[in-house]
Amino acid sequence: MKKIIRIAIIGLLLLIANALLISSAIGNFNEQSVDKNFVKVYIENQDDVDTISNLDLDLDIWEVNQGFLIAMVYDKQIIELKEKGFIVEILYNSEREFLESCFEPVQATSGVSYHSYSSLKTELQNIEDNYTNIAKVYDIGDSWEKTQGIADRDILAIKISDNVTTEEEDEPDILFMGGTHAREWISVEVPFYLAKYLVEHYSTDQKVKQLIDSREIWIVPLVNPDGLEYSRTDNRFWRKNRRDNGDGTFGVDPNRNFGYKWGQQGSSGNSTSNTYRGTAPFSEPETQAIRYLVSTHNFSSSISYHSYSQLILYPWGYTKDAPQHKVQLSKMADDMATEIKKVHGKDYTPEQASDLYIASGDSDDWLYGVYNIAAFTIELRPKTMAEGGFVLPPSQIIPTWKENKPAALYLIEWPQQLDIKSPPIASFSYYPENPIVNETITFNASNSTDPDGTIENYEWDFGDGEKAEEKIVTHSYSSAKNYTVKLTVTDNEGATNSTAEIINIEIEIPIVTTVLVKSPTEASEGENFTATVNVDGVGDLAILMFRLNYNSSVIRLTNVEKGSDIDTSGWSQWLQDSSAGILKVFAFSDSSGSTINGSAELARLEFIAVGNAGNRSVIDIKGILGNSAVEPIEAIWEGSEVTLMPVKN
């Protein structure tokens, strides 16, 4: 019987230490100050953004800029950021201080103001009542608070088409969503004003009429009504829905709750986090409502409105890999940015969502990854927190809508369904399989494939700062350690895929350390015999721990002694414990003792055969070895087997 045991003395200690640290962190959570600070965190590049996201500090990141990001954080998070080496500048000491600094009151001083849930519901119904031939409001689901009997709020969608009561299979469906995040009030207004514009111009604008007659336009202005109302009445910067998580916290981030790549990097499993993903994909009634709508229609494209930063984002969000339709999605985003700029000269930056930061479980990835929909997120005004951030003055509602109108019309007019495409698949091998320092290693990406196209570019990152760009490359390492080798392939459509593997570089070809139980293969009934525990190919052995298992109804252990090399080399610490069928030994060399190198006899075990002829017993051994630095030694543990023979006459 042979088992490979990877020793983990240090790992076990680290796990215990981590558990204590985690427990301490949880215990200190309630000690955080109630108020959050608005801070500027200085960064050098996009890698720093990813590093901060991966620290699991649950920062509420508002915007990412060249050289810095803006976030809302607790005092404790500021300390943690500084401990990680980041420079942090406090901009505002509380939410109240920031709100007081905003240059215009939230309530309108003119005739335009932000909608509440009830006012939005009324206006949507008015649209249907006034334009019954081309507009109809549908209740596609309930908010979380309605499912609990706390409030009466529905997820409302308005369909605009020349046939609003039936699904016309020959007409493409286009989806617009807003109000996914509660504090992003402007994201409710743009899709609402889109609906209003379409119906009001149907009889006077030939282009609008043509679009409505040939399309089925679905608009969900407010995905998260509970969250919006809470943001209006209690906490202006509330982001999530209002689910009671049952642990003293509230809310799930709807835009981390969609089912494609749910639960991966860029979302949080901590219910206190603003990016808390929930307990399962589509755990929330709000995302279930969108799932129902999408599953019952044939959408070709979509825009989800958010704020802020003036961006046009497309998949993927969960990975840096480019999507299969990279070229097409990028061009569409560029085109929409151009249309927007024509109105007021505002720059909206088109980019892949993960170029901003990694986010998994969002609506765009789900729409694109599951339904092949050309899905975009438009982050609306303003550009920066200095211009108000989420607190956009009501005077900017109409200008924001007007500059986004041509982009919305562009998407409605876009006639295509994305082709079904499979992404390239990155794969590589390397030789030799157990490389050593300064040895030439050949990396071969010939196994990479692209079902729908051709791979045009190979990018290697060898994990030591060196890179290469051919299908087959060679490389060597000057230091012995683990390196993460990453291959990224790009196909003729601009889609990318990557794979990575950790390669262990040794100083020299390692000697295999084996711990072996040697015993007679046969023993007669009633016969005494000796088994030994031996090690081979070991270096600097200072700690020995093993457990021996055997069948006590076949053989019985009568005596245990130190092995000859243990007994003579100063291993004064020897502890053993035995019971029927089990022997446990723990031994180590004290400061006066010497370590073992090469081969050695570690223990001598005396048995007597007590079973009947034909009985067999495996003598199984497993354990751990350590060196004088209390570091693990990798070893192969190998037992033996004894068969009882009849007594010879």
The residues carrying an active-site annotation are: 379
How is residue 486 written in tokens?
Answer: 């990453």
SS3 labels along 233-258: HCCCCCCCCCCECCCCCECCCHHHCC
Residue 19 · residue 25 · CB < 8 Å? no
Reported as type and span, the H/E element at residue 457 is: strand 455-461
Name the nearest CA neighbour of 182 among 216, 225, 151: 225
Backbone phi and psi for residue 519, each to the nearest 5 degrees, phi listed first: -155, 160
Name the nearest CA neighbour of 647 among 617, 622, 613, 598: 613
Give helix then strand counts, H and E, for the chain.
14, 31
CA distances from 621 to 129, 541, 640 (A): 81, 18, 9
Residue 641 · residue 521 · CB < 8 Å? yes
In three-state secondary structure terms, 209 is: helix
In three-state secondary structure terms, 133 is: coil
Give one DSSP letter per residue of 359-392, joined into a string: --S-HHHHHHHHH--EEEEEEES-SSGGGTTT--
CA distance 552 to 207: 90
In three-state secondary structure terms, 342 is: helix
- DSSP H helices, 201-308, are 206-214, 225-233, 285-295
Residue 175 · residue 157 · CB < 8 Å? no
CA distances from 217 to 18, 121, 162, 168, 185 (A): 52, 18, 10, 12, 22
